[in-house]
Chain A
Amino acid sequence: MADTRRTGLNELHRELGARMVSFAGWDMPVQFPMGVMAEHLHTREKAGLFDVGHMGQVLIRPQDGDIASAALALETVIAADVLSLPEGRQRYGLFTNDTGGILDDLMFANRGDHFLLVVNAACAQQDIAILKGLAGVTVTPVTDRGLLALQGPQAAEVLARIVPQAADMRFMDSVTLDWQGHALWVSRSGYTGEDGYEISVPEAQVEAFARALLEHPEVAPIGLGARDSLRLEAGMPLYGHDMDAGVTPGAAGLGWAVSKARRQGGAREGGFPGAGVILPELARGATSVRRGLRPEGRAPIREGVVIFAANEGGEPLGQVSSGGFGPSVGGPVAMARIPADIPEGTTVFAELRGKRIPATVAALPFITPSYKR
């Protein structure tokens, strides 16, 4: 595809022997020679380096110079409390539509005089269009920076060797740090369930910075394959799979992202698209929500598999939105939107190739996260 985009690490991926795939219009590594299973386990044991340069980075600046103005503008399109976010902190949020569905999920950080948003690659154009419709803010898509994630229990130790101040950060901090005279936008967060960082690096330095991290024996390059199995075990939803424009925050199991201040009775109740659907649903509880499933045996239960209450007959309870093999769990794991009132520990049945496989309704996440709070 001629118009497939490349991150600043494309040549490095090829040099490292990556198998490349087209993902959301970008040429990205799905795995390195180590393989998905070993990459996954390496990240949980040591530190994995991910290229997430396909994700959209967007700056939002208040035209009146008051960061609160930008926060309130963002609150008209994001169902989260943006206003109370202190400088140097990051929060998770959702863009919603008029029918209460989710248009994208994102991270937003208060960086003093502006906000930094990180959005999904496949939704970036749409999100930027929405943001450009806001009054009183200047929207600047960041086109001259790469984005890396360093994830795993040894991520902090490794990063501190080349960026010492990173060690002082707490989970969801977002600050600017120096590396050899270049400004890194660093947040302590990620998409694996492990401690770690996401680091925005000037495009001209991104390959050198990645190489500087890969020099450390704890660090291995990790592809999108392991990124998916890591986030699945961590119970994190993936846009376009576990949620989309037809799924409400409540049904996606993301009600927690709709901050108290924006809920019924909150200081700034509603005021975002679909609030009239989303808030009453959160108040009474969604009938079907994203739940964890632990299928029996070893067969992965993947997206689209239909879930039933009984081992034969009956109406479907719902279907799997993400599923696969969890290398750290050592067996298949899945997430499915099924009735909220089914107690944890209940056996349900996943219809796979004409056979119904028992699966236990389980709490999310499937692993214990190790964030540095």
Chain B
Amino acid sequence: MLKYTEDHEWLRSDGDEVTVGITKHASEQLGDVVFIELPEEGREVEAGEEIVVIESVKAASDITAPVAGVITAVNADLADAPATVNEDPMGTWFFRIKPADASAVEGFMDEAAYQALIG
């Protein structure tokens, strides 16, 4: 089941890793995405640390690490095809992280709470 952050990321638990992308709402707000800079695999990150740069035609934004942990994989296809974030945001992942605290993801919003947030 997907969880959601207040920064409009979706989180999917896959075994002891968490896969992270951005929501449809976020992709609509960003507009056409033209460039994505991903973190290095193996990097240790803090919760809230800005680890992805996402540039749309309009502006640059950041995506933060939802939890502390280690980046285990990044979606390298995004470098050449950033527009897939607009075409299929819920099916486009950015990175996988192995949380330092395995239960850290449970505190995030579920679908209903997230829908209430974005109204």
Q: Is the CB of A36 within 8 A of B58?
A: yes
Q: Does A271 contact B (CB under 8 A)?
A: no
How far apart are A330's CB and chain B's nearest CB, in angstroms? 10
CA distance A297 to B53 in the complex (A): 14
Contacts of A299 in B (CB 8 A): 35, 37, 53, 55
Contact B31 A300 (CB under 8 A): no
What is the distance, in angstroms, from B47's C-beta to the closest C-beta of chain A?
21
Chain B hits for A324, CB < 8 A: 57
Q: How far is the CA of A302 from the CA of B55 in the complex (A)?
A: 11
A192 on interface, CB distance cutoff 8 Å: no
**Considering only CB atoms and an 8 Å cut-off, how many residues of chain B contact the other chain?**
14
Cβ contact within 8 Å between A229 and B57: yes
A190 within 8 A of partner (CB): no
Interface size of A as a range: 10 to 19
Q: Does A225 contact B (CB under 8 A)?
A: yes
Contact B31 A36 (CB under 8 A): yes
B70 interface residue (CB < 8 Å to A): no
Number of A-B residue pairs at CB separation under 8 A: 45
Kindly provide the distance from the CB of A292 to the nearest chain B CB, expressed in whole angstroms: 18
A324 to B58, CA, bound (A): 8
Task: Kindly list chain B residues whose C-beta atoms are within 8 Å of the C-beta of A353.
Answer: 37, 53
B-chain residues with CB within 8 Å of residue A297 when the two chains form the complex = 35
Q: Restricting to B97-113, which residues have a CB under 8 Å from any CB of A?
A: none
Contact pattern, B 16-44, Cβ under 8 Å of A = 1, otherwise 0 = 00000000000000011011010000000
B32 proximity list for chain A (CB < 8 A): 35-38
Provide the residues of chain B in CB contact with A325, threshold 8 Å: 34-35, 55, 57
CA distance A350 to B86 in the complex (A): 27
Given contacts A300-B34, A300-B35, contact A36 B57 (CB under 8 A): yes
Can you give 15 contacting A-B residue pairs, CB < 8 Å?
A36-B31, A36-B32, A36-B56, A37-B32, A229-B57, A298-B79, A299-B35, A299-B37, A299-B53, A300-B55, A300-B60, A302-B60, A324-B57, A332-B34, A353-B53
Chain B residues within 8 Å of A, Cβ to Cβ: 31-32, 34-35, 37, 53, 55-58, 60, 79, 82, 86
Footprint of B on A, CB under 8 Å?
A: 30-31, 35-38, 40, 225, 229, 297-300, 302, 324-325, 327, 332, 353
Q: 7 shortest A-B CB distances, which residue pairs? A: A37-B32, A325-B34, A298-B35, A36-B57, A299-B35, A325-B57, A300-B55
